[in-house]
Chains A and B, each alone.
Chain A
Amino acid sequence: MILGIETSCDDTCAAVVTRAGEIRSNVVASQGLLHERYGGVVPEIASRRHLELIDAVIADALERAGASLDDVREVAVTRGPGLIGALLVGLSAAKALAAARGLPLTPVDHLHGHVVASTLGPDPIEPPYLCLVASGGHTFIARVDDLRAHRRLGGTLDDAAGEAFDKGARILGLGYPGGPAIDRLARAGDPEAFPFPRAAPGELDFSFSGVKTALLYAVRDLGEREAERRKADLAASYQSAIVEALVARTRTAVEREGIERLAIGGGVAANSLLRERIAQAAGELGLRLWVPDFSLCTDNAAMIAGAARFGEPIAHPGYLALDAAARLEAAA
Protein backbone atom coordinates (compact mmCIF):
# COMPACT_ATOMS: atom_id res chain seq x y z
CA MET A 1 0.00 0.00 0.00
CA ILE A 2 1.05 3.56 -0.66
CA LEU A 3 0.65 6.24 1.98
CA GLY A 4 0.09 9.64 0.37
CA ILE A 5 0.61 13.01 2.05
CA GLU A 6 -0.46 16.38 0.64
CA THR A 7 -0.06 19.80 2.29
CA SER A 8 0.43 22.20 -0.60
CA CYS A 9 -2.17 24.77 0.41
CA ASP A 10 -4.64 24.93 3.26
CA ASP A 11 -5.82 21.34 3.56
CA THR A 12 -3.91 18.71 5.51
CA CYS A 13 -4.40 15.43 3.64
CA ALA A 14 -3.34 11.80 3.97
CA ALA A 15 -4.58 8.73 2.12
CA VAL A 16 -3.92 5.05 1.65
CA VAL A 17 -4.12 3.70 -1.89
CA THR A 18 -3.26 0.26 -3.21
CA ARG A 19 -1.00 -0.34 -6.19
CA ALA A 20 -4.08 -1.33 -8.16
CA GLY A 21 -5.59 2.11 -7.53
CA GLU A 22 -8.11 1.20 -4.87
CA ILE A 23 -8.64 4.02 -2.38
CA ARG A 24 -8.58 2.55 1.13
CA SER A 25 -8.86 5.93 2.85
CA ASN A 26 -8.74 9.59 1.89
CA VAL A 27 -8.66 12.01 4.83
CA VAL A 28 -8.79 15.80 4.53
CA ALA A 29 -8.61 18.21 7.45
CA SER A 30 -9.71 21.51 6.01
CA GLN A 31 -8.54 24.86 7.26
CA GLY A 32 -11.31 26.54 5.30
CA LEU A 33 -13.15 27.90 8.32
CA LEU A 34 -9.97 29.23 9.82
CA HIS A 35 -9.07 31.13 6.67
CA GLU A 36 -12.60 32.34 6.08
CA ARG A 37 -12.06 34.82 8.88
CA TYR A 38 -9.05 36.22 7.05
CA GLY A 39 -10.59 36.26 3.57
CA GLY A 40 -8.06 33.76 2.29
CA VAL A 41 -5.16 31.53 3.07
CA VAL A 42 -2.62 32.89 5.50
CA PRO A 43 0.62 31.05 4.80
CA GLU A 44 2.09 31.11 8.27
CA ILE A 45 -1.17 30.04 9.86
CA ALA A 46 -1.54 27.35 7.20
CA SER A 47 1.91 25.97 8.02
CA ARG A 48 1.28 25.97 11.75
CA ARG A 49 -2.06 24.21 11.33
CA HIS A 50 -0.51 21.59 9.07
CA LEU A 51 2.08 20.95 11.74
CA GLU A 52 -0.61 20.52 14.40
CA LEU A 53 -2.75 18.24 12.24
CA ILE A 54 -0.39 16.14 10.16
CA ASP A 55 0.29 13.30 12.63
CA ALA A 56 -3.38 12.89 13.49
CA VAL A 57 -4.43 12.98 9.85
CA ILE A 58 -1.89 10.28 8.90
CA ALA A 59 -2.97 8.12 11.86
CA ASP A 60 -6.60 8.59 10.84
CA ALA A 61 -5.87 7.63 7.20
CA LEU A 62 -4.15 4.42 8.34
CA GLU A 63 -6.90 3.55 10.78
CA ARG A 64 -9.68 4.10 8.25
CA ALA A 65 -7.77 1.93 5.78
CA GLY A 66 -7.62 -0.79 8.44
CA ALA A 67 -3.86 -0.69 8.06
CA SER A 68 -0.78 0.03 10.09
CA LEU A 69 2.59 1.41 9.09
CA ASP A 70 3.72 -2.21 8.62
CA ASP A 71 1.45 -2.44 5.59
CA VAL A 72 2.89 0.66 3.93
CA ARG A 73 5.42 -0.15 1.19
CA GLU A 74 5.94 3.34 -0.16
CA VAL A 75 5.37 6.93 0.92
CA ALA A 76 4.21 9.53 -1.62
CA VAL A 77 4.28 13.24 -0.99
CA THR A 78 3.52 16.50 -2.80
CA ARG A 79 6.75 18.32 -3.54
CA GLY A 80 5.14 21.35 -5.19
CA PRO A 81 3.79 23.64 -6.39
CA GLY A 82 2.22 25.37 -3.42
CA LEU A 83 2.98 27.46 -0.37
CA ILE A 84 6.54 26.68 0.51
CA GLY A 85 6.08 26.52 4.30
CA ALA A 86 3.02 24.34 3.94
CA LEU A 87 4.74 21.95 1.53
CA LEU A 88 7.67 21.57 3.90
CA VAL A 89 5.44 20.24 6.68
CA GLY A 90 4.15 17.39 4.52
CA LEU A 91 7.54 16.69 2.98
CA SER A 92 9.26 16.52 6.37
CA ALA A 93 6.58 14.23 7.79
CA ALA A 94 6.87 11.96 4.73
CA LYS A 95 10.65 11.82 4.95
CA ALA A 96 10.59 11.04 8.65
CA LEU A 97 8.05 8.24 8.25
CA ALA A 98 9.78 6.72 5.25
CA ALA A 99 13.26 6.99 6.75
CA ALA A 100 12.21 5.45 10.07
CA ARG A 101 11.12 2.33 8.19
CA GLY A 102 13.65 2.43 5.36
CA LEU A 103 10.81 2.82 2.83
CA PRO A 104 11.12 4.40 -0.60
CA LEU A 105 9.64 7.86 -1.06
CA THR A 106 8.09 9.23 -4.24
CA PRO A 107 7.90 13.01 -4.71
CA VAL A 108 4.81 14.01 -6.68
CA ASP A 109 3.91 17.09 -8.70
CA HIS A 110 0.62 18.29 -7.22
CA LEU A 111 -0.68 19.16 -10.69
CA HIS A 112 0.09 15.69 -11.99
CA GLY A 113 -1.96 14.39 -9.07
CA HIS A 114 -4.98 16.33 -10.36
CA VAL A 115 -4.33 15.13 -13.92
CA VAL A 116 -4.29 11.43 -12.97
CA ALA A 117 -7.04 11.54 -10.31
CA SER A 118 -9.36 9.73 -12.71
CA THR A 119 -7.06 6.71 -12.79
CA LEU A 120 -8.26 5.86 -9.29
CA GLY A 121 -11.26 3.75 -8.48
CA PRO A 122 -13.10 0.94 -10.27
CA ASP A 123 -13.23 2.57 -13.73
CA PRO A 124 -9.79 4.06 -14.31
CA ILE A 125 -9.18 6.29 -17.31
CA GLU A 126 -6.43 5.14 -19.66
CA PRO A 127 -4.18 7.16 -21.96
CA PRO A 128 -4.33 8.83 -24.31
CA TYR A 129 -6.66 11.35 -22.71
CA LEU A 130 -7.06 15.07 -22.14
CA CYS A 131 -7.63 16.62 -18.75
CA LEU A 132 -8.94 20.04 -17.82
CA VAL A 133 -7.61 21.05 -14.41
CA ALA A 134 -9.20 24.13 -12.88
CA SER A 135 -8.53 25.11 -9.29
CA GLY A 136 -7.77 28.10 -7.10
CA GLY A 137 -4.17 28.26 -8.19
CA HIS A 138 -4.09 26.56 -11.58
CA THR A 139 -6.03 26.30 -14.79
CA PHE A 140 -4.71 24.29 -17.73
CA ILE A 141 -5.47 21.60 -20.28
CA ALA A 142 -3.10 18.65 -20.36
CA ARG A 143 -2.56 15.75 -22.68
CA VAL A 144 -1.60 12.40 -21.22
CA ASP A 145 -0.02 9.75 -23.42
CA ASP A 146 1.77 8.00 -20.62
CA LEU A 147 0.70 8.18 -16.99
CA ARG A 148 4.18 9.13 -15.82
CA ALA A 149 3.81 12.68 -17.09
CA HIS A 150 1.47 15.12 -18.78
CA ARG A 151 2.01 17.70 -21.46
CA ARG A 152 0.45 21.11 -21.01
CA LEU A 153 -1.43 22.22 -24.11
CA GLY A 154 -2.58 25.57 -22.80
CA GLY A 155 -3.29 27.36 -19.58
CA THR A 156 -4.21 30.61 -17.95
CA LEU A 157 -2.19 33.68 -18.83
CA ASP A 158 -3.25 35.54 -15.71
CA ASP A 159 -5.70 34.35 -13.03
CA ALA A 160 -6.73 30.77 -12.33
CA ALA A 161 -10.44 29.97 -12.71
CA GLY A 162 -10.87 29.33 -8.98
CA GLU A 163 -9.11 32.60 -8.23
CA ALA A 164 -11.54 34.36 -10.59
CA PHE A 165 -14.41 32.82 -8.60
CA ASP A 166 -12.85 33.92 -5.30
CA LYS A 167 -12.20 37.46 -6.46
CA GLY A 168 -15.60 37.72 -8.13
CA ALA A 169 -17.21 36.61 -4.88
CA ARG A 170 -15.27 39.29 -3.08
CA ILE A 171 -16.51 41.94 -5.52
CA LEU A 172 -20.06 40.69 -4.90
CA GLY A 173 -19.51 40.62 -1.13
CA LEU A 174 -20.01 36.85 -0.87
CA GLY A 175 -17.00 35.79 1.20
CA TYR A 176 -14.51 32.95 0.92
CA PRO A 177 -14.37 30.40 -0.67
CA GLY A 178 -16.02 32.12 -3.59
CA GLY A 179 -16.71 29.19 -5.91
CA PRO A 180 -19.48 27.48 -3.92
CA ALA A 181 -21.02 30.84 -2.98
CA ILE A 182 -21.30 31.96 -6.61
CA ASP A 183 -22.50 28.51 -7.69
CA ARG A 184 -25.35 28.65 -5.14
CA LEU A 185 -26.39 32.22 -5.89
CA ALA A 186 -26.17 31.73 -9.66
CA ARG A 187 -28.96 29.15 -9.58
CA ALA A 188 -31.42 31.97 -8.96
CA GLY A 189 -29.97 34.24 -11.63
CA ASP A 190 -30.03 34.77 -15.39
CA PRO A 191 -26.68 33.81 -16.98
CA GLU A 192 -27.38 36.08 -19.94
CA ALA A 193 -28.31 39.17 -17.96
CA PHE A 194 -24.83 40.67 -18.30
CA PRO A 195 -22.72 40.12 -21.42
CA PHE A 196 -19.39 39.51 -19.68
CA PRO A 197 -16.45 38.90 -22.02
CA ARG A 198 -15.18 35.40 -22.76
CA ALA A 199 -11.56 36.17 -23.44
CA ALA A 200 -9.89 34.04 -26.08
CA PRO A 201 -6.13 34.55 -25.96
CA GLY A 202 -4.20 31.99 -28.01
CA GLU A 203 -5.85 28.81 -29.17
CA LEU A 204 -5.86 26.88 -25.92
CA ASP A 205 -5.08 29.53 -23.33
CA PHE A 206 -7.32 31.23 -20.81
CA SER A 207 -7.55 34.72 -19.42
CA PHE A 208 -9.86 35.51 -16.53
CA SER A 209 -8.56 38.94 -15.67
CA GLY A 210 -10.86 40.78 -18.10
CA VAL A 211 -14.07 39.20 -16.85
CA LYS A 212 -13.11 40.14 -13.30
CA THR A 213 -12.74 43.78 -14.38
CA ALA A 214 -16.04 43.60 -16.28
CA LEU A 215 -17.79 42.40 -13.12
CA LEU A 216 -16.23 45.20 -11.11
CA TYR A 217 -17.43 47.79 -13.62
CA ALA A 218 -20.90 46.29 -13.78
CA VAL A 219 -21.21 46.44 -9.99
CA ARG A 220 -19.95 49.99 -9.96
CA ASP A 221 -22.22 51.14 -12.80
CA LEU A 222 -25.29 49.62 -11.16
CA GLY A 223 -24.68 51.32 -7.84
CA GLU A 224 -24.84 49.61 -4.48
CA ARG A 225 -28.60 49.10 -4.21
CA GLU A 226 -29.17 47.91 -7.74
CA ALA A 227 -26.10 45.64 -7.65
CA GLU A 228 -27.43 44.07 -4.46
CA ARG A 229 -30.83 43.54 -6.06
CA ARG A 230 -29.32 41.94 -9.16
CA LYS A 231 -26.66 39.96 -7.33
CA ALA A 232 -27.96 36.59 -8.54
CA ASP A 233 -27.92 37.76 -12.19
CA LEU A 234 -24.39 39.10 -11.75
CA ALA A 235 -23.24 35.81 -10.20
CA ALA A 236 -24.93 33.73 -12.90
CA SER A 237 -23.51 35.82 -15.76
CA TYR A 238 -20.04 35.84 -14.22
CA GLN A 239 -20.06 32.10 -13.60
CA SER A 240 -21.31 31.49 -17.12
CA ALA A 241 -18.48 33.55 -18.66
CA ILE A 242 -15.85 31.55 -16.76
CA VAL A 243 -17.45 28.16 -17.41
CA GLU A 244 -18.09 28.83 -21.11
CA ALA A 245 -14.43 29.80 -21.57
CA LEU A 246 -13.32 26.57 -19.88
CA VAL A 247 -15.67 24.45 -21.97
CA ALA A 248 -14.88 26.20 -25.28
CA ARG A 249 -11.13 25.71 -24.83
CA THR A 250 -11.57 22.10 -23.83
CA ARG A 251 -13.69 21.48 -26.94
CA THR A 252 -11.01 23.04 -29.14
CA ALA A 253 -8.33 20.87 -27.49
CA VAL A 254 -10.38 17.71 -27.98
CA GLU A 255 -11.01 18.51 -31.63
CA ARG A 256 -7.42 19.48 -32.31
CA GLU A 257 -5.89 16.47 -30.57
CA GLY A 258 -8.49 14.00 -31.82
CA ILE A 259 -8.72 12.24 -28.48
CA GLU A 260 -11.86 10.53 -27.26
CA ARG A 261 -11.29 10.45 -23.54
CA LEU A 262 -11.63 13.50 -21.34
CA ALA A 263 -11.25 14.03 -17.60
CA ILE A 264 -11.71 17.07 -15.42
CA GLY A 265 -10.08 17.81 -12.09
CA GLY A 266 -9.31 20.54 -9.58
CA GLY A 267 -11.66 22.24 -7.14
CA VAL A 268 -13.56 24.11 -9.87
CA ALA A 269 -14.63 20.71 -11.24
CA ALA A 270 -17.07 20.76 -8.33
CA ASN A 271 -18.92 23.66 -9.97
CA SER A 272 -22.36 22.44 -10.99
CA LEU A 273 -22.57 24.49 -14.20
CA LEU A 274 -19.15 23.27 -15.35
CA ARG A 275 -20.18 19.67 -14.71
CA GLU A 276 -23.38 20.14 -16.66
CA ARG A 277 -21.80 21.98 -19.61
CA ILE A 278 -18.77 19.71 -19.93
CA ALA A 279 -21.01 16.63 -19.88
CA GLN A 280 -23.13 18.21 -22.60
CA ALA A 281 -20.05 18.98 -24.70
CA ALA A 282 -18.74 15.44 -24.21
CA GLY A 283 -22.10 14.09 -25.36
CA GLU A 284 -22.06 16.26 -28.48
CA LEU A 285 -18.49 15.30 -29.34
CA GLY A 286 -19.01 11.62 -28.57
CA LEU A 287 -16.40 11.57 -25.82
CA ARG A 288 -16.18 9.47 -22.71
CA LEU A 289 -15.94 11.76 -19.74
CA TRP A 290 -14.44 11.08 -16.31
CA VAL A 291 -15.59 13.40 -13.56
CA PRO A 292 -13.98 12.23 -10.33
CA ASP A 293 -15.85 12.28 -7.07
CA PHE A 294 -15.77 15.69 -5.40
CA SER A 295 -13.31 14.34 -2.78
CA LEU A 296 -10.83 13.64 -5.61
CA CYS A 297 -11.30 17.04 -7.28
CA THR A 298 -10.38 19.28 -4.38
CA ASP A 299 -6.91 18.90 -2.88
CA ASN A 300 -6.46 15.39 -1.53
CA ALA A 301 -3.73 12.84 -0.85
CA ALA A 302 -5.35 9.91 -2.70
CA MET A 303 -4.46 11.54 -6.02
CA ILE A 304 -0.88 11.99 -4.77
CA ALA A 305 -0.57 8.34 -3.76
CA GLY A 306 -2.30 7.48 -7.04
CA ALA A 307 0.19 9.49 -9.09
CA ALA A 308 3.10 7.88 -7.22
CA ARG A 309 2.15 4.57 -8.86
CA PHE A 310 3.48 6.04 -12.10
CA GLY A 311 6.38 7.97 -10.55
CA GLU A 312 9.93 7.14 -9.66
CA PRO A 313 10.41 6.13 -6.03
CA ILE A 314 13.67 7.24 -4.44
CA ALA A 315 15.28 4.54 -2.27
CA HIS A 316 16.19 5.27 1.34
CA PRO A 317 18.13 7.43 2.20
CA GLY A 318 18.41 9.26 -1.13
CA TYR A 319 15.43 11.49 -0.41
CA LEU A 320 16.62 13.03 2.82
CA ALA A 321 18.04 16.04 0.99
CA LEU A 322 14.91 16.49 -1.14
CA ASP A 323 13.57 20.05 -1.02
CA ALA A 324 10.09 21.42 -1.53
CA ALA A 325 9.50 23.56 -4.61
CA ALA A 326 6.97 26.40 -4.64
CA ARG A 327 6.93 26.17 -8.41
CA LEU A 328 7.74 23.15 -10.53
CA GLU A 329 8.40 23.38 -14.23
CA ALA A 330 5.38 22.04 -16.10
CA ALA A 331 5.90 18.34 -16.62
CA ALA A 332 7.33 17.64 -20.05
Chain B
Amino acid sequence: MRIEASTPAETEAAGARLARRLGPGDVVLVSGELGVGKTTFVRGACRELGVSEAVTSPTFTIGQVYGGRVEVAHLDLYRLASLDGEDPALLDDYLTPDRIAFIEWPAAAEPRLERVRANVRMEHLGGDRRAIEIDGP
Protein backbone atom coordinates (compact mmCIF):
# COMPACT_ATOMS: atom_id res chain seq x y z
CA MET B 1 0.00 0.00 0.00
CA ARG B 2 1.27 3.45 -0.88
CA ILE B 3 0.09 6.58 0.89
CA GLU B 4 0.98 10.20 0.34
CA ALA B 5 1.09 12.43 3.39
CA SER B 6 1.55 16.17 3.37
CA THR B 7 1.25 16.93 7.09
CA PRO B 8 2.61 15.29 10.24
CA ALA B 9 -1.02 14.53 11.18
CA GLU B 10 -1.42 12.50 7.99
CA THR B 11 1.82 10.64 8.70
CA GLU B 12 0.53 9.88 12.22
CA ALA B 13 -2.78 8.68 10.76
CA ALA B 14 -0.92 6.27 8.47
CA GLY B 15 0.90 4.89 11.51
CA ALA B 16 -2.37 4.54 13.39
CA ARG B 17 -3.95 2.65 10.49
CA LEU B 18 -1.15 0.13 10.44
CA ALA B 19 -1.23 -0.22 14.24
CA ARG B 20 -4.84 -1.42 14.13
CA ARG B 21 -3.66 -4.48 12.23
CA LEU B 22 -0.83 -5.40 14.60
CA GLY B 23 -0.67 -7.76 17.53
CA PRO B 24 1.81 -8.70 20.28
CA GLY B 25 5.12 -9.99 18.95
CA ASP B 26 4.88 -8.10 15.67
CA VAL B 27 7.95 -6.20 14.49
CA VAL B 28 7.65 -3.24 12.12
CA LEU B 29 10.65 -1.83 10.27
CA VAL B 30 10.52 1.87 9.47
CA SER B 31 13.14 3.20 7.08
CA GLY B 32 13.76 6.42 5.23
CA GLU B 33 16.07 9.40 5.28
CA LEU B 34 16.70 11.85 8.10
CA GLY B 35 13.69 14.07 8.70
CA VAL B 36 11.25 12.04 6.63
CA GLY B 37 8.91 11.46 9.57
CA LYS B 38 9.76 8.01 10.92
CA THR B 39 9.29 9.03 14.54
CA THR B 40 6.05 10.81 13.59
CA PHE B 41 4.76 7.63 11.96
CA VAL B 42 5.64 5.59 15.06
CA ARG B 43 4.02 8.22 17.30
CA GLY B 44 0.73 7.82 15.40
CA ALA B 45 0.93 4.05 15.81
CA CYS B 46 1.70 4.40 19.54
CA ARG B 47 -1.28 6.69 20.11
CA GLU B 48 -3.53 4.15 18.42
CA LEU B 49 -2.10 1.49 20.75
CA GLY B 50 -3.00 3.55 23.80
CA VAL B 51 0.39 5.09 24.57
CA SER B 52 -0.16 8.51 26.13
CA GLU B 53 3.39 9.50 27.10
CA ALA B 54 5.71 11.49 24.83
CA VAL B 55 7.01 9.50 21.87
CA THR B 56 10.36 11.09 21.05
CA SER B 57 13.36 10.06 19.01
CA PRO B 58 15.07 7.12 20.69
CA THR B 59 18.38 7.76 18.93
CA PHE B 60 20.17 8.46 22.19
CA THR B 61 19.04 5.44 24.20
CA ILE B 62 18.71 3.11 21.17
CA GLY B 63 15.43 1.84 22.53
CA GLN B 64 12.41 2.90 24.57
CA VAL B 65 9.47 0.94 25.89
CA TYR B 66 6.07 2.54 26.30
CA GLY B 67 3.08 1.27 28.21
CA GLY B 68 -0.18 1.19 26.23
CA ARG B 69 -2.96 -1.35 25.81
CA VAL B 70 -0.04 -3.49 24.73
CA GLU B 71 3.60 -2.63 25.45
CA VAL B 72 5.34 -0.92 22.57
CA ALA B 73 9.10 -1.04 21.96
CA HIS B 74 10.51 1.83 19.89
CA LEU B 75 14.04 1.32 18.64
CA ASP B 76 16.38 3.43 16.58
CA LEU B 77 19.53 1.82 15.25
CA TYR B 78 20.83 5.03 13.64
CA ARG B 79 23.97 5.02 15.75
CA LEU B 80 24.72 1.39 15.08
CA ALA B 81 26.75 0.89 11.92
CA SER B 82 26.13 -2.83 12.25
CA LEU B 83 25.49 -5.29 15.00
CA ASP B 84 28.85 -6.98 14.45
CA GLY B 85 30.61 -6.97 17.77
CA GLU B 86 27.39 -6.10 19.56
CA ASP B 87 25.84 -8.32 22.16
CA PRO B 88 23.08 -10.22 20.32
CA ALA B 89 20.91 -9.79 23.42
CA LEU B 90 20.89 -6.03 22.84
CA LEU B 91 17.72 -6.26 20.78
CA ASP B 92 16.22 -9.25 22.59
CA ASP B 93 15.75 -7.05 25.64
CA TYR B 94 13.29 -5.00 23.61
CA LEU B 95 11.78 -7.44 21.12
CA THR B 96 9.75 -9.67 23.39
CA PRO B 97 6.77 -11.76 22.21
CA ASP B 98 4.32 -9.68 24.23
CA ARG B 99 5.29 -6.35 22.67
CA ILE B 100 4.74 -4.63 19.37
CA ALA B 101 8.05 -3.24 18.16
CA PHE B 102 8.91 -0.45 15.74
CA ILE B 103 12.49 -0.21 14.53
CA GLU B 104 13.82 2.93 12.86
CA TRP B 105 17.04 2.64 10.81
CA PRO B 106 16.72 -1.15 10.90
CA ALA B 107 19.50 -1.92 8.38
CA ALA B 108 22.08 -2.82 11.05
CA ALA B 109 19.85 -5.57 12.40
CA GLU B 110 17.78 -6.57 9.39
CA PRO B 111 19.36 -9.94 8.62
CA ARG B 112 18.78 -11.27 12.11
CA LEU B 113 15.31 -9.91 12.81
CA GLU B 114 12.43 -12.30 13.24
CA ARG B 115 8.66 -11.79 13.29
CA VAL B 116 8.83 -8.86 10.85
CA ARG B 117 5.19 -8.19 10.11
CA ALA B 118 5.47 -4.96 8.16
CA ASN B 119 8.05 -2.98 6.27
CA VAL B 120 7.48 0.75 6.06
CA ARG B 121 9.55 2.81 3.63
CA MET B 122 9.24 6.56 3.72
CA GLU B 123 10.46 8.99 1.12
CA HIS B 124 10.69 12.76 0.68
CA LEU B 125 8.65 14.00 -2.29
CA GLY B 126 9.78 17.61 -1.87
CA GLY B 127 8.21 20.27 0.30
CA ASP B 128 6.07 18.74 3.01
CA ARG B 129 5.01 15.77 0.93
CA ARG B 130 6.02 12.25 1.83
CA ALA B 131 5.45 8.88 0.26
CA ILE B 132 4.76 6.08 2.72
CA GLU B 133 5.01 2.58 1.29
CA ILE B 134 3.67 -0.08 3.61
CA ASP B 135 4.41 -3.68 2.88
CA GLY B 136 2.41 -5.60 5.44
CA PRO B 137 -1.03 -6.37 6.81
Contacts and interface: CB of A to CB of B under 8 A. Distances in A.
B51 interface: no
Contact of A155 (B33, B54, B81): B54
Interface string B38-75: 01100000000000001011011111110000000000
A43 to B, nearest CB: 6
A298 to B, nearest CB: 14
B86 A83 contact: no
A323 interface: no
Interface in B82-99: 85-87, 90, 93
Interface size class of B (residues with CB under 8 A): 20 to 34
B132 to A, nearest CB: 15
A172 B90 CA distance: 30
Contacts of B34: 167, 170-171, 212-213, 216
A170 to B, nearest CB: 7
The DSSP consensus for interface residues of chain B is loop
Given A83-B62, A163-B60, A326-B64, A44 B87 contact: yes
Contacts of B61: 81-84, 137, 326-327
26 contacts: A9-B60, A38-B79, A38-B81, A40-B80, A42-B81, A43-B62, A44-B87, A47-B87, A82-B61, A83-B62, A137-B60, A156-B56, A157-B54, A157-B56, A158-B57, A159-B57, A160-B56, A170-B34, A171-B34, A209-B39, A209-B57, A213-B34, A213-B36, A216-B34, A216-B35, A326-B64
Interface of A: 9, 38-45, 47, 81-85, 136-138, 155-160, 163, 167, 170-171, 209-210, 212-217, 326-327
